[in-house]
A and B are shown apart, each in its own frame.
Chain A
Amino acid sequence: MSQTIIETNHLTKQFGSRIAVNNLDIQVTQGEVYGFLGPNGAGKTTTIRMLLGLSRPTRGSIHIFGKDIKKEKLSVLKKVGSLVENPSYYGHLTAVENLEAIRILLNAPKSRIEEVLSMVRLDKDANRPVKKFSLGMKQRLGIAAALLGKPKLLILDEPTNGLDPSGIIEIRELIKSMPKEHGVTIVVSSHLLSEIDQMATQVGIISNGTMIFQDSITALRKRAKSRIRLTVSEAESARKKLLSLGYPASFSDNRIYIENRSDQKVAEIVRQLVHEHYSVYRVEEERKSLEEIFLRLINGKGNQ
Protein backbone atom coordinates (compact mmCIF):
# COMPACT_ATOMS: atom_id res chain seq x y z
CA MET A 1 0.00 0.00 0.00
CA SER A 2 2.76 2.44 0.80
CA GLN A 3 4.35 4.02 -2.17
CA THR A 4 7.94 5.17 -2.32
CA ILE A 5 8.05 8.96 -2.53
CA ILE A 6 11.78 9.59 -2.48
CA GLU A 7 14.38 7.14 -3.64
CA THR A 8 18.01 7.96 -4.17
CA ASN A 9 20.66 5.64 -5.51
CA HIS A 10 24.32 6.10 -4.67
CA LEU A 11 23.74 9.81 -4.40
CA THR A 12 27.12 11.53 -4.23
CA LYS A 13 28.21 15.14 -4.21
CA GLN A 14 31.78 16.18 -4.44
CA PHE A 15 33.15 19.70 -4.02
CA GLY A 16 36.64 19.55 -5.45
CA SER A 17 38.30 16.71 -3.60
CA ARG A 18 35.95 16.90 -0.62
CA ILE A 19 33.14 14.40 -0.68
CA ALA A 20 30.17 16.08 1.00
CA VAL A 21 27.66 13.33 0.39
CA ASN A 22 28.74 9.79 -0.23
CA ASN A 23 26.66 7.03 -1.81
CA LEU A 24 23.42 7.92 -0.12
CA ASP A 25 20.50 5.56 -0.59
CA ILE A 26 17.48 7.27 0.86
CA GLN A 27 14.07 5.64 0.94
CA VAL A 28 11.04 7.58 2.03
CA THR A 29 7.60 6.05 1.85
CA GLN A 30 4.30 7.84 1.61
CA GLY A 31 2.77 9.33 4.74
CA GLU A 32 5.94 9.07 6.76
CA VAL A 33 7.71 11.81 8.63
CA TYR A 34 11.28 11.09 7.71
CA GLY A 35 13.74 12.52 10.20
CA PHE A 36 17.02 13.30 8.56
CA LEU A 37 19.48 13.49 11.36
CA GLY A 38 23.14 14.33 11.55
CA PRO A 39 25.61 16.70 13.16
CA ASN A 40 26.29 20.08 11.60
CA GLY A 41 28.21 19.77 8.37
CA ALA A 42 27.28 16.11 7.87
CA GLY A 43 25.78 16.76 4.45
CA LYS A 44 22.10 17.20 5.28
CA THR A 45 21.63 20.49 3.51
CA THR A 46 23.73 19.38 0.55
CA THR A 47 21.48 16.34 0.19
CA ILE A 48 18.32 18.42 0.46
CA ARG A 49 19.62 20.84 -2.16
CA MET A 50 20.12 17.93 -4.52
CA LEU A 51 16.64 16.59 -3.79
CA LEU A 52 15.22 19.97 -4.81
CA GLY A 53 17.34 20.20 -7.94
CA LEU A 54 19.22 23.21 -6.60
CA SER A 55 22.51 21.48 -7.08
CA ARG A 56 23.49 18.64 -9.32
CA PRO A 57 24.66 15.31 -7.92
CA THR A 58 28.18 14.33 -8.89
CA ARG A 59 26.97 10.75 -9.16
CA GLY A 60 23.83 8.81 -8.46
CA SER A 61 20.16 9.34 -9.17
CA ILE A 62 17.14 10.81 -7.44
CA HIS A 63 13.57 9.73 -8.02
CA ILE A 64 10.72 11.64 -6.43
CA PHE A 65 7.15 10.39 -6.98
CA GLY A 66 8.86 7.82 -9.20
CA LYS A 67 10.10 10.54 -11.54
CA ASP A 68 13.71 11.26 -12.33
CA ILE A 69 14.42 14.73 -10.95
CA LYS A 70 16.95 15.33 -13.68
CA LYS A 71 14.39 14.90 -16.44
CA GLU A 72 11.12 15.98 -14.86
CA LYS A 73 12.20 18.59 -12.36
CA LEU A 74 9.34 21.02 -12.88
CA SER A 75 6.55 18.49 -12.60
CA VAL A 76 8.15 17.15 -9.41
CA LEU A 77 8.68 20.58 -7.89
CA LYS A 78 5.04 21.47 -8.47
CA LYS A 79 4.13 18.99 -5.76
CA VAL A 80 6.99 19.77 -3.38
CA GLY A 81 7.10 22.44 -0.70
CA SER A 82 10.44 23.28 0.79
CA LEU A 83 12.34 25.31 3.30
CA VAL A 84 16.11 25.26 2.95
CA GLU A 85 18.48 26.51 5.64
CA ASN A 86 17.94 30.08 6.74
CA PRO A 87 14.57 31.38 5.60
CA SER A 88 14.46 33.27 2.30
CA TYR A 89 12.20 36.27 2.16
CA TYR A 90 11.89 39.68 0.58
CA GLY A 91 12.40 42.06 3.49
CA HIS A 92 10.85 45.10 1.87
CA LEU A 93 7.57 43.28 1.21
CA THR A 94 4.88 42.33 3.69
CA ALA A 95 4.14 38.73 4.59
CA VAL A 96 1.17 38.69 2.22
CA GLU A 97 3.19 40.18 -0.64
CA ASN A 98 5.97 37.68 -0.05
CA LEU A 99 3.53 34.82 -0.35
CA GLU A 100 1.85 36.47 -3.33
CA ALA A 101 5.17 36.58 -5.20
CA ILE A 102 5.38 32.82 -4.74
CA ARG A 103 1.68 32.12 -5.21
CA ILE A 104 1.76 33.63 -8.70
CA LEU A 105 4.44 31.15 -9.70
CA LEU A 106 2.60 28.22 -8.18
CA ASN A 107 -0.71 29.21 -9.67
CA ALA A 108 -2.39 28.59 -6.32
CA PRO A 109 -5.71 30.24 -5.43
CA LYS A 110 -5.46 33.60 -3.65
CA SER A 111 -7.41 32.37 -0.63
CA ARG A 112 -4.58 29.95 0.08
CA ILE A 113 -2.41 32.80 1.39
CA GLU A 114 -4.75 33.46 4.29
CA GLU A 115 -4.99 29.76 5.00
CA VAL A 116 -1.27 29.18 5.28
CA LEU A 117 -0.75 32.36 7.29
CA SER A 118 -3.22 31.20 9.88
CA MET A 119 -1.68 27.72 9.88
CA VAL A 120 1.61 29.22 11.06
CA ARG A 121 -0.16 31.90 13.15
CA LEU A 122 1.08 34.90 11.27
CA ASP A 123 -2.38 36.22 10.41
CA LYS A 124 -1.95 39.18 12.75
CA ASP A 125 1.32 40.22 11.15
CA ALA A 126 0.20 39.61 7.58
CA ASN A 127 0.58 43.20 6.46
CA ARG A 128 3.82 44.12 8.18
CA PRO A 129 7.09 44.31 6.27
CA VAL A 130 9.01 41.10 6.82
CA LYS A 131 12.31 42.79 7.66
CA LYS A 132 10.76 43.78 10.98
CA PHE A 133 9.95 40.14 11.77
CA SER A 134 11.85 38.15 14.37
CA LEU A 135 13.83 35.13 13.20
CA GLY A 136 11.10 32.83 14.43
CA MET A 137 8.45 34.72 12.47
CA LYS A 138 10.57 34.60 9.33
CA GLN A 139 10.94 30.87 9.85
CA ARG A 140 7.15 30.57 10.10
CA LEU A 141 6.75 32.58 6.94
CA GLY A 142 9.15 30.16 5.25
CA ILE A 143 7.01 27.26 6.39
CA ALA A 144 3.88 29.06 5.18
CA ALA A 145 5.55 29.51 1.78
CA ALA A 146 6.37 25.80 1.71
CA LEU A 147 2.72 24.95 2.36
CA LEU A 148 1.36 27.38 -0.22
CA GLY A 149 1.07 24.98 -3.12
CA LYS A 150 -0.62 22.21 -1.11
CA PRO A 151 2.42 19.99 -1.61
CA LYS A 152 2.39 16.22 -1.51
CA LEU A 153 5.92 16.26 -0.23
CA LEU A 154 7.34 18.74 2.26
CA ILE A 155 11.08 19.07 2.64
CA LEU A 156 11.99 21.12 5.68
CA ASP A 157 15.60 21.81 6.57
CA GLU A 158 15.88 22.59 10.29
CA PRO A 159 12.34 23.99 10.46
CA THR A 160 12.39 24.77 14.17
CA ASN A 161 15.56 26.83 13.96
CA GLY A 162 15.16 30.12 15.76
CA LEU A 163 11.70 29.36 17.11
CA ASP A 164 10.85 29.81 20.76
CA PRO A 165 9.68 26.80 22.77
CA SER A 166 5.99 27.37 22.15
CA GLY A 167 6.72 27.94 18.46
CA ILE A 168 8.67 24.70 18.31
CA ILE A 169 5.74 22.81 19.79
CA GLU A 170 3.27 24.43 17.35
CA ILE A 171 5.38 23.62 14.33
CA ARG A 172 6.02 20.13 15.60
CA GLU A 173 2.31 19.53 16.02
CA LEU A 174 1.70 20.95 12.56
CA ILE A 175 4.29 18.63 11.05
CA LYS A 176 2.88 15.64 12.88
CA SER A 177 -0.66 16.41 11.78
CA MET A 178 0.10 16.90 8.09
CA PRO A 179 0.53 13.23 7.09
CA LYS A 180 -2.67 12.25 8.89
CA GLU A 181 -4.86 15.05 7.60
CA HIS A 182 -3.54 15.61 4.12
CA GLY A 183 -1.55 12.48 3.31
CA VAL A 184 1.57 14.58 2.98
CA THR A 185 4.97 12.99 3.22
CA ILE A 186 7.54 15.00 5.15
CA VAL A 187 11.29 15.08 5.29
CA VAL A 188 12.59 16.99 8.29
CA SER A 189 16.25 17.52 8.90
CA SER A 190 17.73 18.37 12.25
CA HIS A 191 20.89 18.05 14.23
CA LEU A 192 18.85 17.47 17.37
CA LEU A 193 17.84 13.93 18.07
CA SER A 194 15.16 14.92 20.57
CA GLU A 195 13.53 16.97 17.82
CA ILE A 196 13.45 14.05 15.41
CA ASP A 197 12.41 11.67 18.18
CA GLN A 198 9.27 13.70 18.75
CA MET A 199 8.18 14.02 15.14
CA ALA A 200 9.62 11.32 12.96
CA THR A 201 8.36 7.88 12.12
CA GLN A 202 11.40 7.02 10.01
CA VAL A 203 14.96 8.05 10.70
CA GLY A 204 18.02 8.42 8.54
CA ILE A 205 21.23 9.29 10.30
CA ILE A 206 24.01 10.79 8.26
CA SER A 207 27.54 11.45 9.38
CA ASN A 208 30.39 12.72 7.26
CA GLY A 209 28.25 12.36 4.20
CA THR A 210 27.52 8.68 4.77
CA MET A 211 24.25 7.14 5.86
CA ILE A 212 24.95 5.18 9.03
CA PHE A 213 21.43 4.26 10.03
CA GLN A 214 18.12 4.15 8.24
CA ASP A 215 15.08 2.52 9.74
CA SER A 216 11.96 3.27 11.70
CA ILE A 217 12.21 5.30 14.89
CA THR A 218 11.05 2.26 16.87
CA ALA A 219 13.98 0.27 15.54
CA LEU A 220 16.26 3.03 16.74
CA ARG A 221 14.57 3.05 20.12
CA LYS A 222 14.99 -0.70 20.45
CA ARG A 223 18.69 -0.10 20.48
CA ALA A 224 18.15 1.83 23.63
CA LYS A 225 18.54 -1.25 25.85
CA SER A 226 17.88 -0.69 29.46
CA ARG A 227 19.49 -2.32 32.46
CA ILE A 228 18.71 -2.50 36.15
CA ARG A 229 20.83 -0.66 38.62
CA LEU A 230 20.94 -1.85 42.20
CA THR A 231 22.26 0.19 45.04
CA VAL A 232 23.02 -2.10 47.95
CA SER A 233 25.19 -2.26 51.03
CA GLU A 234 28.57 -3.92 50.50
CA ALA A 235 28.12 -3.88 46.78
CA GLU A 236 31.31 -5.67 45.93
CA SER A 237 30.60 -8.76 47.96
CA ALA A 238 26.94 -8.68 46.97
CA ARG A 239 27.97 -8.86 43.32
CA LYS A 240 30.18 -11.87 44.03
CA LYS A 241 27.30 -13.52 45.80
CA LEU A 242 25.04 -12.93 42.79
CA LEU A 243 27.67 -14.32 40.43
CA SER A 244 28.08 -17.41 42.58
CA LEU A 245 24.30 -17.85 42.47
CA GLY A 246 24.43 -17.73 38.71
CA TYR A 247 23.20 -14.20 37.98
CA PRO A 248 25.49 -12.26 35.63
CA ALA A 249 26.10 -8.89 37.21
CA SER A 250 28.57 -6.13 36.63
CA PHE A 251 29.94 -3.69 39.11
CA SER A 252 30.86 -0.09 38.74
CA ASP A 253 30.73 3.04 40.84
CA ASN A 254 29.73 1.03 43.90
CA ARG A 255 26.59 -0.14 42.13
CA ILE A 256 25.53 -3.40 40.64
CA TYR A 257 24.18 -3.60 37.13
CA ILE A 258 22.17 -6.50 35.83
CA GLU A 259 20.56 -7.06 32.49
CA ASN A 260 16.97 -6.04 32.29
CA ARG A 261 14.95 -9.22 32.48
CA SER A 262 11.43 -10.11 33.43
CA ASP A 263 9.90 -8.68 36.59
CA GLN A 264 10.04 -12.10 38.26
CA LYS A 265 13.76 -12.45 37.61
CA VAL A 266 14.40 -9.04 39.12
CA ALA A 267 12.25 -9.89 42.13
CA GLU A 268 14.15 -13.12 42.54
CA ILE A 269 17.47 -11.32 42.57
CA VAL A 270 16.25 -8.82 45.12
CA ARG A 271 14.86 -11.63 47.27
CA GLN A 272 18.23 -13.43 47.17
CA LEU A 273 20.06 -10.27 48.18
CA VAL A 274 17.71 -9.66 51.08
CA HIS A 275 18.01 -13.27 52.06
CA GLU A 276 21.77 -12.89 52.21
CA HIS A 277 21.29 -9.87 54.51
CA TYR A 278 22.33 -7.19 52.13
CA SER A 279 20.36 -3.97 52.40
CA VAL A 280 18.77 -3.04 49.10
CA TYR A 281 18.50 0.75 48.92
CA ARG A 282 17.40 1.29 45.36
CA VAL A 283 16.30 -0.71 42.35
CA GLU A 284 16.25 1.45 39.24
CA GLU A 285 15.92 1.01 35.56
CA GLU A 286 18.59 2.78 33.59
CA ARG A 287 17.83 3.51 29.99
CA LYS A 288 20.54 4.31 27.53
CA SER A 289 19.25 7.47 25.94
CA LEU A 290 18.73 7.87 22.24
CA GLU A 291 21.21 10.67 22.49
CA GLU A 292 23.88 8.21 23.56
CA ILE A 293 23.01 5.83 20.76
CA PHE A 294 23.14 8.67 18.30
CA LEU A 295 26.54 9.76 19.56
CA ARG A 296 27.84 6.22 19.41
CA LEU A 297 26.58 5.83 15.87
CA ILE A 298 28.13 9.02 14.61
CA ASN A 299 31.38 8.38 16.40
CA GLY A 300 31.63 5.30 14.25
CA LYS A 301 31.59 2.84 17.12
CA GLY A 302 29.55 0.48 15.03
CA ASN A 303 26.31 -1.12 15.95
CA GLN A 304 26.33 -1.11 19.69
Chain B
Amino acid sequence: MLQVMASEFLKIRRKMILFLIFLGPLGVIVLEAINFGVRYDYLTDLYRNDLWKGLMGEVSMLFTPSLMLGLTIITSMIANIEHETDAWKQLFALPVTRTEVFLGKWFLATILLFVFCALLAGGTIVLGTFLNYGPDIPYLYLLKKSFFPYFAAMPFLALQIWLSIAWKNQAIPLTVGIMGTILSMYSFEFPDWLPWKWPYLENSWGEPLYFVWAGLLTGTILLVTALIDFNRKDVK
Protein backbone atom coordinates (compact mmCIF):
# COMPACT_ATOMS: atom_id res chain seq x y z
CA MET B 1 0.00 0.00 0.00
CA LEU B 2 2.89 2.37 0.79
CA GLN B 3 4.31 1.63 -2.63
CA VAL B 4 0.98 2.40 -4.25
CA MET B 5 0.88 5.74 -2.44
CA ALA B 6 4.47 6.57 -3.44
CA SER B 7 3.56 5.83 -7.04
CA GLU B 8 0.40 7.94 -6.83
CA PHE B 9 2.30 10.92 -5.47
CA LEU B 10 4.85 10.59 -8.24
CA LYS B 11 2.10 10.56 -10.85
CA ILE B 12 0.59 13.91 -9.81
CA ARG B 13 3.86 15.70 -10.48
CA ARG B 14 3.58 18.52 -12.99
CA LYS B 15 -0.19 18.24 -13.01
CA MET B 16 -2.04 21.31 -11.83
CA ILE B 17 -3.36 19.32 -8.87
CA LEU B 18 -1.02 20.68 -6.19
CA PHE B 19 -1.45 24.16 -7.60
CA LEU B 20 -5.23 23.86 -7.22
CA ILE B 21 -4.84 22.73 -3.64
CA PHE B 22 -3.12 26.06 -2.96
CA LEU B 23 -5.32 28.10 -5.25
CA GLY B 24 -8.61 27.07 -3.59
CA PRO B 25 -7.87 28.33 -0.06
CA LEU B 26 -5.97 31.30 -1.44
CA GLY B 27 -9.00 32.32 -3.49
CA VAL B 28 -11.29 32.08 -0.49
CA ILE B 29 -8.94 34.13 1.68
CA VAL B 30 -8.43 36.78 -1.01
CA LEU B 31 -12.20 37.13 -1.51
CA GLU B 32 -12.70 37.45 2.22
CA ALA B 33 -9.87 39.97 2.39
CA ILE B 34 -11.75 42.05 -0.18
CA ASN B 35 -15.01 41.51 1.71
CA PHE B 36 -13.49 42.69 4.99
CA GLY B 37 -11.43 45.38 3.29
CA VAL B 38 -14.45 47.00 1.70
CA ARG B 39 -16.84 46.56 4.61
CA TYR B 40 -14.29 46.68 7.42
CA ASP B 41 -16.15 49.09 9.67
CA TYR B 42 -19.53 47.45 9.14
CA LEU B 43 -18.31 43.88 9.69
CA THR B 44 -16.07 44.79 12.60
CA ASP B 45 -19.05 46.42 14.22
CA LEU B 46 -21.33 43.50 13.40
CA TYR B 47 -18.98 40.95 14.97
CA ARG B 48 -17.70 43.19 17.76
CA ASN B 49 -18.49 40.53 20.37
CA ASP B 50 -16.13 38.04 18.81
CA LEU B 51 -14.20 39.29 15.85
CA TRP B 52 -12.38 36.03 15.15
CA LYS B 53 -15.50 33.88 15.17
CA GLY B 54 -17.19 36.41 12.92
CA LEU B 55 -14.35 36.18 10.44
CA MET B 56 -14.34 32.40 10.58
CA GLY B 57 -18.09 32.32 9.98
CA GLU B 58 -17.71 34.52 6.91
CA VAL B 59 -14.81 32.43 5.62
CA SER B 60 -16.73 29.19 5.98
CA MET B 61 -19.60 30.57 3.87
CA LEU B 62 -17.24 30.52 0.90
CA PHE B 63 -15.10 27.67 2.08
CA THR B 64 -17.70 24.91 2.05
CA PRO B 65 -18.75 25.34 -1.60
CA SER B 66 -15.10 25.68 -2.61
CA LEU B 67 -14.35 22.44 -0.75
CA MET B 68 -17.16 20.66 -2.60
CA LEU B 69 -16.01 22.03 -5.93
CA GLY B 70 -12.35 21.36 -5.18
CA LEU B 71 -13.14 17.78 -4.23
CA THR B 72 -14.99 17.27 -7.52
CA ILE B 73 -12.14 18.65 -9.60
CA ILE B 74 -9.33 16.94 -7.68
CA THR B 75 -10.91 13.46 -7.82
CA SER B 76 -11.58 13.88 -11.52
CA MET B 77 -7.99 14.93 -12.19
CA ILE B 78 -6.60 12.05 -10.17
CA ALA B 79 -8.69 9.52 -12.07
CA ASN B 80 -8.00 11.18 -15.39
CA ILE B 81 -4.26 10.56 -15.05
CA GLU B 82 -5.07 6.92 -15.82
CA HIS B 83 -7.97 7.53 -18.21
CA GLU B 84 -5.98 9.83 -20.46
CA THR B 85 -3.87 7.12 -22.04
CA ASP B 86 -5.80 4.04 -20.90
CA ALA B 87 -3.14 3.38 -18.31
CA TRP B 88 -5.49 1.25 -16.19
CA LYS B 89 -4.59 -1.84 -18.17
CA GLN B 90 -0.90 -1.29 -17.58
CA LEU B 91 -1.51 -0.64 -13.90
CA PHE B 92 -3.61 -3.76 -13.35
CA ALA B 93 -1.22 -6.00 -15.20
CA LEU B 94 1.21 -5.20 -12.36
CA PRO B 95 1.22 -7.11 -9.10
CA VAL B 96 -1.18 -4.80 -7.27
CA THR B 97 -4.74 -5.49 -6.25
CA ARG B 98 -7.58 -3.37 -7.49
CA THR B 99 -8.49 -2.57 -3.91
CA GLU B 100 -5.02 -1.15 -3.32
CA VAL B 101 -5.21 0.97 -6.44
CA PHE B 102 -8.68 2.29 -5.66
CA LEU B 103 -7.83 3.01 -2.04
CA GLY B 104 -4.60 4.65 -3.19
CA LYS B 105 -6.52 7.10 -5.37
CA TRP B 106 -9.05 7.74 -2.63
CA PHE B 107 -6.40 8.23 0.01
CA LEU B 108 -4.46 10.60 -2.23
CA ALA B 109 -7.58 12.76 -2.62
CA THR B 110 -8.19 12.57 1.13
CA ILE B 111 -4.68 13.78 1.93
CA LEU B 112 -4.78 16.56 -0.65
CA LEU B 113 -8.10 17.85 0.62
CA PHE B 114 -6.85 17.70 4.18
CA VAL B 115 -4.02 20.00 3.10
CA PHE B 116 -6.63 22.16 1.40
CA CYS B 117 -8.47 22.57 4.73
CA ALA B 118 -5.28 23.09 6.71
CA LEU B 119 -4.16 25.83 4.33
CA LEU B 120 -7.49 27.52 4.77
CA ALA B 121 -7.19 27.43 8.54
CA GLY B 122 -3.71 28.96 8.25
CA GLY B 123 -4.95 31.55 5.80
CA THR B 124 -7.74 32.57 8.14
CA ILE B 125 -5.23 33.26 10.92
CA VAL B 126 -3.09 35.32 8.57
CA LEU B 127 -6.10 37.33 7.40
CA GLY B 128 -7.36 37.92 10.96
CA THR B 129 -3.95 39.09 12.04
CA PHE B 130 -3.82 41.53 9.14
CA LEU B 131 -7.24 42.82 10.16
CA ASN B 132 -5.84 43.47 13.64
CA TYR B 133 -8.26 41.11 15.37
CA GLY B 134 -5.84 40.53 18.19
CA PRO B 135 -3.98 37.58 19.63
CA ASP B 136 -6.94 35.69 21.16
CA ILE B 137 -7.46 33.24 18.33
CA PRO B 138 -10.12 30.60 19.09
CA TYR B 139 -8.11 27.70 17.73
CA LEU B 140 -10.57 24.98 18.62
CA TYR B 141 -13.37 26.83 16.89
CA LEU B 142 -11.12 27.32 13.87
CA LEU B 143 -10.31 23.61 13.69
CA LYS B 144 -13.99 22.79 13.86
CA LYS B 145 -14.83 25.27 11.14
CA SER B 146 -12.02 23.99 8.94
CA PHE B 147 -12.20 20.24 9.38
CA PHE B 148 -15.79 19.40 10.30
CA PRO B 149 -16.98 20.25 6.77
CA TYR B 150 -14.19 18.03 5.46
CA PHE B 151 -15.39 15.02 7.43
CA ALA B 152 -19.02 15.78 6.66
CA ALA B 153 -18.11 15.85 2.95
CA MET B 154 -16.64 12.33 3.00
CA PRO B 155 -19.65 10.80 1.20
CA PHE B 156 -18.98 13.14 -1.70
CA LEU B 157 -15.33 12.30 -1.76
CA ALA B 158 -16.17 8.59 -2.01
CA LEU B 159 -18.90 9.23 -4.60
CA GLN B 160 -16.77 11.47 -6.78
CA ILE B 161 -13.71 9.21 -6.81
CA TRP B 162 -16.00 6.31 -7.66
CA LEU B 163 -17.70 8.13 -10.54
CA SER B 164 -14.43 9.56 -11.83
CA ILE B 165 -12.79 6.16 -11.94
CA ALA B 166 -15.81 4.28 -13.28
CA TRP B 167 -16.40 6.63 -16.22
CA LYS B 168 -13.76 7.52 -18.71
CA ASN B 169 -15.88 10.49 -19.72
CA GLN B 170 -15.16 12.99 -16.96
CA ALA B 171 -18.18 15.10 -17.93
CA ILE B 172 -20.33 12.73 -15.87
CA PRO B 173 -18.56 13.02 -12.49
CA LEU B 174 -17.94 16.73 -13.05
CA THR B 175 -21.61 17.38 -13.75
CA VAL B 176 -22.69 15.40 -10.72
CA GLY B 177 -20.15 17.20 -8.53
CA ILE B 178 -20.91 20.71 -9.76
CA MET B 179 -24.67 20.17 -9.55
CA GLY B 180 -24.14 18.87 -6.04
CA THR B 181 -22.12 21.94 -5.09
CA ILE B 182 -24.82 24.27 -6.38
CA LEU B 183 -27.54 22.20 -4.71
CA SER B 184 -25.65 22.30 -1.42
CA MET B 185 -25.60 26.11 -1.47
CA TYR B 186 -29.38 26.07 -1.16
CA SER B 187 -29.38 23.33 1.39
CA PHE B 188 -30.44 25.36 4.44
CA GLU B 189 -34.05 24.48 3.84
CA PHE B 190 -33.34 20.80 3.18
CA PRO B 191 -34.22 18.09 5.67
CA ASP B 192 -31.28 17.03 7.85
CA TRP B 193 -30.91 13.59 6.26
CA LEU B 194 -29.82 15.00 2.90
CA PRO B 195 -26.01 14.70 2.70
CA TRP B 196 -25.75 17.92 0.64
CA LYS B 197 -26.62 19.79 3.79
CA TRP B 198 -23.99 18.14 5.95
CA PRO B 199 -20.83 20.06 4.98
CA TYR B 200 -22.52 23.29 6.15
CA LEU B 201 -22.93 21.73 9.59
CA GLU B 202 -26.24 23.50 10.25
CA ASN B 203 -28.81 21.15 11.71
CA SER B 204 -31.91 21.29 13.84
CA TRP B 205 -30.05 20.01 16.91
CA GLY B 206 -27.43 22.70 16.63
CA GLU B 207 -24.79 19.99 16.92
CA PRO B 208 -22.35 19.89 13.99
CA LEU B 209 -20.78 16.68 15.28
CA TYR B 210 -23.85 14.73 14.20
CA PHE B 211 -23.09 15.61 10.60
CA VAL B 212 -19.43 14.72 11.06
CA TRP B 213 -20.38 11.23 12.20
CA ALA B 214 -23.04 10.89 9.53
CA GLY B 215 -20.50 11.95 6.92
CA LEU B 216 -17.84 9.50 8.09
CA LEU B 217 -20.32 6.63 8.27
CA THR B 218 -21.96 7.29 4.91
CA GLY B 219 -18.57 7.94 3.36
CA THR B 220 -17.32 4.56 4.54
CA ILE B 221 -20.41 2.77 3.26
CA LEU B 222 -20.06 4.44 -0.14
CA LEU B 223 -16.36 3.67 -0.30
CA VAL B 224 -16.96 -0.03 0.40
CA THR B 225 -19.74 -0.14 -2.21
CA ALA B 226 -17.46 1.55 -4.74
CA LEU B 227 -14.69 -0.96 -3.98
CA ILE B 228 -17.01 -3.91 -4.54
CA ASP B 229 -18.19 -2.41 -7.83
CA PHE B 230 -14.64 -1.64 -8.95
CA ASN B 231 -13.41 -5.15 -8.20
CA ARG B 232 -16.22 -6.70 -10.18
CA LYS B 233 -15.62 -4.85 -13.44
CA ASP B 234 -13.40 -5.72 -16.36
CA VAL B 235 -10.64 -3.25 -17.03
CA LYS B 236 -11.23 -1.13 -20.11
| A interface, CB within 8 angstroms of B | 49, 52-56, 74-75, 77-78, 80, 82, 84-93, 97, 100-102, 104-107, 129, 142, 145
Contacts and interface: CB of A to CB of B under 8 A. Distances in A.
B14 A93 contact: yes
Contacts of A53: 92-93
Contacts of B225: none
B39 interface: no
B90 A88 contact: yes
B20 to A, nearest CB: 15
Interface of B: 3-4, 6-7, 10-11, 13-15, 81, 84-97, 234-235
A80 B81 CA distance: 24
A92 B97 CA distance: 25
B94 A106 contact: yes
A88 B234 contact: no
Contacts of B90: 82, 84, 88, 102, 142, 145
15 contacts: A49-B89, A53-B93, A54-B89, A56-B234, A74-B97, A86-B85, A87-B85, A88-B87, A88-B89, A89-B85, A90-B84, A92-B14, A101-B7, A101-B11, A104-B3
B93 A84 contact: yes
A107 B2 CA distance: 11
A100 B89 contact: no
B78 to A, nearest CB: 12
A104 B10 contact: yes
Given A77-B95, A84-B89, A142-B90, 8 more contacts: A52-B89, A75-B95, A77-B94, A84-B90, A88-B87, A97-B10, A104-B6, A105-B7
B92 A106 contact: no
Given A88-B86, A89-B85, A97-B13, A104 B93 contact: no
A113 to B, nearest CB: 13
A78 B96 CA distance: 9
B57 to A, nearest CB: 39
A274 to B, nearest CB: 65
A49 B235 contact: yes
A85 B89 contact: yes
Nearest to B97: A74
Nearest to B234: A55
Contact of A89 (B87, B93, B94): B87
A91 B89 contact: no
A97 B14 CA distance: 11
